[in-house]
Copies of this chain bind each other. A is one copy, B any other.
C-alpha cells in the first residue's frame, strides 16, 4: 500500500426523503443561486418545480442555465461563469445527472478564476477554489456527487477534458433520492451501470501490491452492481435496486476504493476521445472499450484479472490466464446482457477515425498505469473494439 491523504467535505443526503434536507442546506448559503439543469426530464418529473419552490421559500434570488447535454460543452459553462461573475452568485446548484453537475462545478470554478474557464480544464492554471457547489442528482453513474472531478468537452478543439481536484470541486452538499432515477430509460440506466463498474475497474486493476481491503471493497461494489443492474434490466421501477445502484455509484468514485494504490484510467482517456469524436454516451463508450483494454492489459500481468474472475465472476478451475480471460469474457457478456453496446459497430461507429482518436489519446505521452500504452497499443485496442 502507498501513503495517501483523504478528505471529503460533502454532506451526503440519501434516500426517499433526501430532498427534505434542501431547505436546511439553502439556509447555510448566501442569497443568490445559479440553478443549472439539463433537458426536460426534471420538469416532467416535477422535481424542477419542487426545487424552485424550495428556492423561493428560502427567499433566494435565482438565475438559471438550462440545456446541459451529455458530454457537456464548455460554451454553456462559460455562460454560467459570466452569470456568476455579473450577479455575484453565492452558490451553483446542479440539478440533474453527471453532466449537469459537472457543468455546475465548472461554473463554480470559473467564477473565481480571472481567465477563460477552459484554462482550468487544460491545467494551465491550478483549480484551488470555487464557489460552493450543491448537487441534486438524478442519475447514478459518475460519482460527481462526492468527488472533486468535472469532465467537460470543448467542441472547437475536439477535446473532452477531466479536471480533477482534491478539494475545490467537491460539492458542499449532495442530495441523492433514488426515486429521481426511476424514470431513467433502460439504455441510459445500462450506461450508468457500466460507468460505475468501470470506475471500479480503473482503481482495481493496479500494480500496487498489498491492497487487500481496497480490492475486496471494490469487489463488493462489482458484486452488488451485477445483482442490481440485472434487477433493473428486469424492472426499471425497482426502488431498492435503484437505491443500491445509486449508493454503488457514490462509493465507486468517491476515491475511497483507490486510496494507497495507483489507478489506471487508460480506458477513460481513450473513451474521452471516442465520445469527443462521436458524442457517444460515456458509459456506452466504456462498455465498448474496457473489455479490450483488459485483454491488452493482460500482457502486464494476470494476478488481478484472475482474482476478479474468481471472486467477482465465480470462474472455477483453469489456469490463471484462462480464468483471467474468462473473467474478461464474462464482463463483456454482462455489459451486453444489460443493454450496452460492446463494439463500435453496436454503436453505429465505423473505423475511419481510429488512427486519429489513438493519436489524440496519447498526445500527452503514454497513458495508463497497469500497462503503459503508447500509440500502437491504443490503436490496437480501438481496432479490437471495432
Contact = CB atoms under 8 A, between A and B. Distances in A.
Contacts of A13: 3-5
Nearest to A221: B213
A62 interface: no
A60 interface: no
A360 interface: no
Interface stretch (A16-24, A44-52, A301-309): A16-24
A212 interface: yes
Contact of A9 (B7, B17, B244, B260): B7
Q: How many copies does the complex hold?
A: 2
A124 to B, nearest CB: 26
A346 interface: no
A247 to B, nearest CB: 5
A103 interface: no
Interface stretch (A77-85, A223-231, A274-282, A320-328): A223-231
Contacts of A9: 7, 9
A15 B260 contact: yes
A40 interface: no
Given A210-B240, A247-B213, A7 B3 contact: no
Contact of A217 (B18, B212, B217): B217
21 contacts: A1-B243, A1-B247, A2-B15, A3-B16, A3-B18, A5-B11, A5-B13, A6-B11, A7-B10, A7-B12, A14-B259, A210-B240, A210-B244, A212-B244, A213-B224, A216-B219, A216-B221, A217-B217, A220-B220, A247-B259, A247-B260
